[in-house]
C-alpha cells in the first residue's frame, strides 16, 4: 500500500515512506542533518512518538544515523552492506558472528515474548493497522530479501510500540541496529537452509499478529517464543554443520 499526495498521513508508515523517498532521491544528502522531531512533527501534523518510530525504523534500515543528543543525519542507502553468504563464512569468523547473534537472541527471547503478551493486552486499532500494513508488504515483496529484512525489524518494533509502554519501546529502538544486523545474519542462514523460508517466516509473523489481534496474551508470547526458538535452531544447526 502506497501513500499518495492526496492521502493524509495516518501513521508513522507514511512519514517513513516520505523521508525514505527524500533520502533516496537525494533531497537529504548523506551527512545532512534532518529537522528536529518537533519540526518534523509540525510538518507532518503527527505526534512526536510517530516521528520517533519512523526515524527508528529508518535507522534500522541503514538510512539514518541518530546521535544521542546530536541530531539525526541522512546516510547513503548504499552504506547498508549486504550479508555474506553463509557458505562463505569461515569457521573462525562464524564462531564470532554466531556468538554475537546468540546473545541478541537471548535478549530478544526475554524482551520480545513479554512484549508480545503486553501488546496483545494493550494494542490499539492503529497498532493492528500498522502491523497489517507491514505483513502486506512482506507478502507483496516476498522475493525481495532486502525489503523483508527491513520489514522484519519494523514488525518487531511495531509490537514493542503496541505494548503502549514507552520503556519497552525505547529498549527495542535502542537495539534496532543490532536487531537489524542479527536478523540479517539469521535470515541469510535460514534462507540457506530452507528454500521455503519466505513463506514460512511470513506465516510465523502472521501467527504472532493473529494472537495479538485476538488479545490472547499467552498465545502471543508462545508464538513469539516459538519464532525465536526456530531462529536459534537454525543457528545451532549451522554451528553443528561447521564442526
The grid coordinates listed for 230 are 526456530
Any idea where the domains of the chain sit in the sequence?
A: 12-79, 86-241
Half-sphere exposure at residue 122, Cβ-oriented, CA atoms within 13 angstroms:
16
- Tell me, what's the pLDDT at 156? 92
CA–CA dist 79, 91 (Å, integer): 26
Query: Class of 86-241 per CATH?
Result: mainly alpha
Per residue of the chain (243 residues), what is the pLDDT tens digit?
333 334 344 467 788 888 988 888 788 888 899 999 999 999 988 888 888 878 877 876 778 888 877 889 998 765 444 444 444 444 444 445 667 778 888 888 999 999 999 999 999 999 999 899 889 988 888 777 777 877 888 899 899 999 999 899 888 877 777 777 777 777 766 665 554 567 888 899 999 999 999 999 999 999 999 999 987 887 776 554 444
CA–CA dist 228, 106 (Å, integer): 9
Query: Class of 12-79 per CATH?
Result: mainly alpha
The grid coordinates listed for 40 are 518534523
Nearest to 106 by CA among 15, 1, 231: 231
- Tell me, what's the pLDDT at 209? 97
Answer whether 63's CB lies under 8 Å from 75's CB.
yes
Answer whether 64's CB lies under 8 Å from 37's CB.
no
- Confidence (pTM): 0.64
CA–CA dist 99, 88 (Å, integer): 17
**Phi, psi at 67, each rounded to 5°:** -105, 120
- Tell me, what's the pLDDT at 242? 47
Amino acid at each position: 500500500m502506497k501513500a499518495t499526495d492526496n492521502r493524509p498521513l495516518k501513521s508513522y508508515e507514511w512519514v517513513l515512506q516520505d523521508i525514505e523517498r527524500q533520502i533516496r532521491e537525494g533531497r537529504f544528502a548523506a551527512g545532512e542533518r534532518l529537522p528536529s522531531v518537533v519540526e518534523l512533527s509540525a510538518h507532518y501534523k503527527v505526534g512526536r512518538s510517530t516521528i520517533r518510530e519512523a526515524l527508528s525504523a529508518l535507522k534500522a534500515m541503514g538510512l539514518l544515523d541518530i546521535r544521542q543528543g546530536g541530531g539525526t543525519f541522512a546516510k547513503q542507502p548504499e552504506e547498508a552492506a549486504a550479508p555474506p553468504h553463509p557458505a562463505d563464512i569461515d569457521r573462525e569468523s562464524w564462531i564470532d558472528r554466531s556468538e554475537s547473534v546468540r546473545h541478541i537472541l537471548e535478549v530478544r527471547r526475554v524482551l520480545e515474548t513479554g512484549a508480545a503478551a503486553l501488546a496483545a493486552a494493550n494494542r490499539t486499532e492503529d497498532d493492528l493497522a500498522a502491523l497489517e500494513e507491514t505483513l502486506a508488504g512482506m507478502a507483496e515483496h516476498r522475493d525481495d530479501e532486502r525489503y523483508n529484512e527491513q520489514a522484519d525489524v519494523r514488525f518487531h518494533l511495531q509490537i514493542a510500540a503496541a505494548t503502549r509502554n514507552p520503556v519497552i519501546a525505547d529498549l527495542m529502538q535502542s537495539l534496532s541496529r543490532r536487531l537489524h544486523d542479527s536478523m540479517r545474519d539469521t535470515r541469510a542462514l535460514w534462507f540457506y537452509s530452507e528454500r521455503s523460508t519466505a513463506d514460512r517466516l511470513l506465516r510465523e509473523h502472521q501467527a504472532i499478529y493473529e494472537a495479538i489481534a485476538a488479545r490472547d496474551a499467552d498465545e502471543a508470547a508462545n508464538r513469539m517464543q516459538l519464532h525465536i526458538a526456530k531462529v536459534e535452531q537454525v543457528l545451532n544447526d549451522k554451528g553443528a554443520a561447521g564442526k
